[in-house]
Amino acid sequence: MEKIKRSVALPQLSDIIHAHSVLKHIVKKTPLERSKSFSAMSGANVFLKLENLQTTGSFKVRGAYYMISRLAPEKLTNGVLCASAGNHAQGVAYAASKLGVKSTVFMPVFAPPLKVIATRSYGAEVILTGDTFDDAFNAAMEYGSKSGATFVHPFNHPDIIAGQGTVGLELFEQLEQIDAVLVPIGGGGLIAGIAIALKQMNPGIRIIGVEAEGAQSMKVSIEANEPMSLTSVNTIADGIAVKSPGDLTFQITRSLVDELVTVNDAEIAQTTYMLLQRAKILAEPAGVAAMAAVLFGKVDLTGQNVIPVISGGNINMSILEQILEKGVMDVGLRARIQVLVPDQAGKLMSIIAILNKMRASIHDIYHERSTTSVPIGHVQITITFNLQDTLQLPTLLAELDKKGMSYQVLH
């Protein structure tokens, strides 16, 4: 990892208040809802700040709109641009469209098609280029130098931070007694803005930052006491998979954030599933990091009024499918078994008869005869099925044992 050094000019509470006045008729004042289920699970009094319900599906539109609205008229003539694979792209596109400004968004070629379509639908010209985000970023920089378009940074700009800080003002209005606020950290724009707002109004509120274990650039930077850049990031929470914090966001985090914790991908995935299952809230992996920290006890919050910020809801459908599949298996309502039986008529039906007896519904069946691991004259059957309750699987396996079948449970 390498050191990053830049000048620092920090936004103030007055900037956030001004941003709030600009944004109040543009963005939604998103709900703050108490969760009975998650309060019971965690032992805290949990209130969810639902920025996944924000226009464009995340908080990003707040900072993007405020920054673009403050650009000088002569700068607006050449338009704005950004590089993003997701939420920032949509926020910039929407904000620019509302302000009547041309926007160009550079996205890597791997960007999910639904996010590309959404960004275009908000009025941006989308240019797909490069295999990585860095490739798209470099292309955007080159385009900006030639076109004169203004680059809208995803997090490291005073106006971006001030715009994101309006979330903090809303929280202060929505809940009289706040003990702790947990905020996902990617580049740090959201937590920086929220920390400035809340610490000025009530220094006693704990601000806790949450990073993905595979992308903890802010935590590494705070420990080093200067901004650092990770050589790589690896997490399903792509919205907070940032290699390095900004110099502004680092400075604010170091000064105002009380604690930084991390959550791993398994905890993020399980929280995404639980939010959908228990609270009927669809959020993306990056958006649930704060809630994961609460559920998995990363900080002692017992008996406190706690607000995890659910920062976005733009989940990739392929990731959602995997999370749902794994989630329902983890809680014991779906199982997958592999059974080796003689390749004879009636063998499959005998297994299905056991499943029918248990009132288990079959999800899919796969046969394999041709691999070297399957003896000649046998067939390997993989069956995925849904169960009525979590106690059925041991009973079903006992039935297979009675019939002398060779099987293994797949996870």
Note the pLDDT tens digit of each residue in 360-370: 899 999 989 88
> Domain check: are 131 and 164 in the same one?
no
CATH of the domain at 372: 3.30.70.260
Rounded mean pLDDT, 341-359: 88
Note the pLDDT tens digit of each residue in 160-174: 999 999 999 999 999
Q: What are phi and psi of 381, to 5 degrees?
A: -110, 125
Note the pLDDT tens digit of each residue in 209-227: 999 999 999 999 999 999 9
130: left (phi over 0), alpha (psi -120 to 50) or beta: left
Q: What is the pLDDT of residue 280?
A: 95
> Domain check: are 133 and 229 in the same one?
no
Q: What is the pLDDT of residue 329?
A: 87
Catalytic residues: 60, 311
Instruction: Return d(Cα 46, Cα 199) in angstroms, integer.
Output: 20
> Domain check: are 340 and 316 in the same one?
no
Q: Using 50, 70 and 90 to split pLDDT, how confident is the model at 4?
A: very low
Q: Is residue 278 part of a domain?
A: yes
Q: Is residue 345 part of a domain?
A: yes
Residue (of 36, 101, 90) closest to 58 by Cα position: 90
Bridge partner residues of 410 (DSSP): 336
The percentage of residues in the chain with a pLDDT greater than 90, rounded to a whole number, is 74
Number of domain units in the chain = 3
Q: What is the pLDDT of residue 85?
A: 75
Residue 201 parent element (H or E): helix 189-201
Q: Using 50, 70 and 90 to split pLDDT, how confident is the model at 69?
A: very high
> Domain check: are 293 and 400 in the same one?
no
Q: What is the pLDDT of residue 358?
A: 85
> Domain check: are 142 and 162 in the same one?
no
Q: Using 50, 70 and 90 to split pLDDT, how confident is the model at 372?
A: confident
Rg value, the chain, Cα: 25
Q: Is residue 74 part of a domain?
A: no
Each as own residue / partner, the long-range contacts of residues 36-41 (CB below 8 Å, 24 or more positions apart, any chain) are: 37/278, 37/279, 38/274, 38/278, 38/279, 38/291, 38/294, 38/295, 41/295
Paired sense of beta strands 125-128 and 150-151, if any: unpaired
7 secondary structure, DSSP code: -
Q: Using 50, 70 and 90 to split pLDDT, how confident is the model at 73?
A: very high
> Domain check: are 41 and 187 in the same one?
yes
CATH of the domain at 184: 3.40.50.1100
Q: Is residue 66 part of a domain?
A: no
* Residue 231: alpha-carbon gap to chain centroid: 21
- Tell me if 69 sits within 8 A of 169, measured CB to CB: no
> Domain check: are 303 and 162 in the same one?
yes
> Domain check: are 210 and 291 in the same one?
yes
> Domain check: are 86 and 109 in the same one?
yes
The parent domain of residue 114 ranges over 79-148
Average pLDDT, the chain: 93
> Domain check: are 49 and 173 in the same one?
yes
Q: What is the pLDDT of residue 1?
A: 43
Q: Is residue 60 part of a domain?
A: no
Q: Is residue 41 part of a domain?
A: yes
Which one of 279, 305, 324 terminates a domain?
324
> Domain check: are 184 and 35 in the same one?
yes
